[in-house]
A and B are shown apart, each in its own frame.
Chain A
Amino acid sequence: MVKTMDKKLEPIVKAMQSKFSATLEEFRAEVHLFVKPEQIVDALTLLRDEYNFELLSALTAVDYHPQSTPRFHVIYQLTSLAKNLSVQLRVPVNGDSPKVPTVTRVYAMANWRERELIDMFGIEVEGHPDPRRILMPDGTEGHPLRKDFPLGYEEPQFTFNFDEIDLRKPYAKE
């Protein structure tokens, strides 16, 4: 398994560090660059136009509840087909009124993935062209992938507690 960062990534990391004062973390040869929410659009534009990162592979978030500053990391996983490189941008956002700007103008793919952020994490995406819920039905309360949202585990029915659960199970009528 490769343990160090690809040589070809070094100039890119340098540029990101000098332009956006991004901080670098490395793990198993993966490069994670931390930038601020207001820089993300510029950072992605730069990476796309100057360094051939044509593909935004993934856009998601991680919730670090109960920690609140920052509570979320929004993750942008970029791939360059021409150079065969990957880089990950991470944007820490705070727990009270989490907000990131939309990147749909840089990568059209972000549209649905950002709707997923809105739906599943309750992270507001500023300037999103279509900020509706995407997976959960309209009118759901809460955001399922947040850590403080309960899993919704129901007690399984076994022989010993069959009757007890059977009584309160909401069976449908004809």
Chain B
Amino acid sequence: MGVEQKLGNMGVVTTTLENVVNWSRTNAMWPMLFGLACCAIEMMSAQAAHYDMSRFGMELMRASPRQSDLMIVAGRVSKKMGPVLRRLYDQMPEPKWVIAMGDCASCGGVFNNYAIYQGVDEVVPVDVYVAGCPPRPEALIHGVLTVYEKVKGDTFKDLAKR
């Protein structure tokens, strides 16, 4: 692990509280299993053996919003689904992050019409947008890692706000 060398023989490590908290948050982020449309299939691919997202400590997709801290909005959000999406978001415990996966969730994609929200940021606040229609599984994984970067950069003030 390498931790032993750093510890020396004192059994103590010094770091900042921010670092510890952020480190623990990133390494066990539980995404919510929230598939809407085509992008959900790519999200499943990312979970499956070939791309294997569990390498990043997120093999646990939770179906319940109350157990998850990352919402991956995978697909287009219709006017009928919007309020439901918001309620699910409200049910997630703090701190929580949102990834808008795919063009539809980011900006409406090819569907510029009456039925689809032109970007899920009209419904919930979004942290990371992943482009592509659908984004490749690698792109999704990159999106998740970008969320990690963001979380690691959180300062103590941000933590208090959340």
Contacts and interface: CB of A to CB of B under 8 A. Distances in A.
A152 B80 CA distance: 15
Query: Interface on chain B toward A: helix, strand, loop, or mixed SS?
Result: loop
Contacts of A173: 125
Contact of B121 (A135, A171, A174): A171
B122 interface: yes
Given A136-B80, A137-B79, A137-B80, A154 B122 contact: no
B140 interface: no
A174 B162 CA distance: 10
Contact of A171 (B86, B108, B113, B122): B122
A174 B112 CA distance: 25
B118 interface: yes
B123 interface: yes
A11 interface: no
Interface string B100-133: 0000000110001111001101111100000000
Interface residues of A, number: 19
Interface in B68-104: 79-80, 86
Contacts of B79: 136-137, 140
B113 A174 contact: no
B124 A172 contact: yes
A172 B121 contact: yes
Contact of B108 (A137, A150, A154): A154
Nearest to B123: A172
A171 B118 contact: no
Highest count of chain A CB atoms <10 Å: which of B80, B118, B119, B124: B118
Given A136-B80, A157-B107, A152 B123 contact: no
A174 to B, nearest CB: 6
B122 A144 contact: no
Contacts of A157: 107
B154 to A, nearest CB: 15
A169 interface: yes
B122 A150 contact: no
A66 interface: no
Interface in A128-143: 135-137, 140
A82 B121 CA distance: 53
A27 interface: no
B112 A153 contact: yes
A170 B108 CA distance: 14
5 contacts: A137-B80, A151-B113, A154-B112, A156-B112, A171-B122
Given A171-B122, A172-B86, 12 more contacts: A137-B79, A150-B114, A151-B113, A152-B115, A156-B107, A169-B122, A170-B122, A171-B121, A171-B125, A172-B122, A172-B123, A173-B125
Interface of B: 79-80, 86, 107-108, 112-115, 118-119, 121-125
Interface of A: 135-137, 140, 144, 149-154, 156-157, 169-174
